[in-house]
Amino acid sequence: MRVLLAGGAGYIGTHTAIALLEAGHEPVLLDDLSNTSDVVTDRIAEITGTRVPLITGDAADDEVVESAFDAHGPFDAIIHFAALKAVGESVAKPLEYYANNLDTTYALLRVGLARGIRSFVFSSTGTVYSDPADLPFTEEATRNLVELSNPYSKSKLMNEVALTDIQAVNPEVNVTLLRYFNPVGAHASGLVGEDPKGIPNNLMPFVARVAVGALPEIGIFGDDYDTPDGTGLRDYIHVVDLAEGHVAALEKAQPGLASYNLGTGNPVSVRGLIESFERAVGHELPKSVKPRRAGDLAATYCSPEKAERELGWKATRTIDDMTASVWNWQQKNPSGYAG
């Protein structure tokens, strides 16, 4: 399959491009490089022996998307990763988040549907679920726009609603909504990984920066939650498992609308993740308990059973695999792609 990956030079897109190449498909990247580097195409070539084309431009611009089809089409499918994704920033910049995260979808669909794509895979998020009574979240769990705490998550749910209506009048097309839980980890080569700009907001890259000595200590945001060790529970998923989930979704795509949770279903606490990282590094890391972070849920984790049943996909990598791969990437690239 020939597949256009919008936002494909980012963290998850890069790993998905590698998984697609390994499965015999032909990915093409379209990215404005606002949150990544074109170095990733060198790294993908080093890993796979294939240089994937990269079109640099805005996926919200119909002309840019047209130019990708002209130069490298026709495409069988589009995977839409392109988005702004920082939850805290989305509260301060809602206009930018709604505009970018929705306009990209509209441009990709306007052009993609006119050019005959058969499948559209969308990067959604487990944060579309918000009611703790629904844990572990199945695909049918409550999704209520007004209960979501930030514009980023709302923009993802708004995309899901728009995509559902658009698929309904294009019944020959497959639309797959992939709800990722907490993607972490790096490719086994240590050549590609997560490279957040500035001080990381997310736990795993923050711990990695402390481990490499770039930050002084880990803050544990609350240890008085109603969880086994009092710290927050999350469903961390290795990015390589996640990437393989995209390949399965594309290969199994049928006309119609489908949604899948991509997670492990095994919740890990903040302390559990830090202990796993300490095993990878071989010594304790400096840490202290801080107040809870506003807007955090005590626990989010999914039931990944539908993806296993319908896509034949299941995450296989453990939390120790995830932390070891991040440590490998962080040591080899202490300054990310810039180093």
Binding interface with ligand UDP (CB under 6 A): 182, 201-203, 206, 219-221, 232, 234, 270, 293, 296
What token pair was written down for 309? 């049943």
**Residue ranges of E strands in 105-185:** 119-125, 174-180, 182-184
The answer to whether residues 107 and 39 touch, using CB atoms and an 8 Å cutoff, is: no
Task: Out of 97, 129, 152, 180, pick the active-site residue.
Answer: 152
Which of ligand NAD, ligand UDP, none does residue 203 bind (CB under 5 to 8 Å by kind)?
ligand UDP
**Cβ count within 10 A of residue 91:** 15
Residue 277 to residues 124, 191, 282, Cα–Cα distance (Å): 27, 19, 8
Helix-, strand-, coil-residue percentages of the chain, each rounded to 5: 45, 20, 40
Which of the choices ligand UDP, ligand NAD, none does residue 234 contact, using the CB cut-off of 5 to 8 A by kind?
ligand UDP
83 binds, among ligand UDP, ligand NAD, none (CB under 5 to 8 A by kind): ligand NAD
Q: Tell me how crowded residue 145 is: count the other CB atoms within 10 A of its CB.
A: 13
Rounded least distance, CB 74 to ligand NAD, Å: 20
Smallest gap from residue 150 Cβ to ligand UDP (A): 10
Closest distance to ligand UDP from the beta carbon of 272 (Å): 10
Residue 232 contacts which entry, ligand UDP, ligand NAD, none (Cβ below 5-8 A, type-dependent)? ligand UDP
Of 41, 119, 123, 259, the one binding ligand NAD (CB under 6 A) is 123
Spatial neighbors of 53 by CB under 8 A, at least 6 apart, are: 28, 29, 71, 72
Question: Is 152 among the residues known to form the active site?
Answer: yes
Query: Among all residues, which ones are annotated catalytic?
Result: 152
The site for ligand NAD (CB under 6 A) is made up of: 7, 9-13, 31-36, 58-60, 81-83, 85, 100, 104, 123, 125, 180, 183
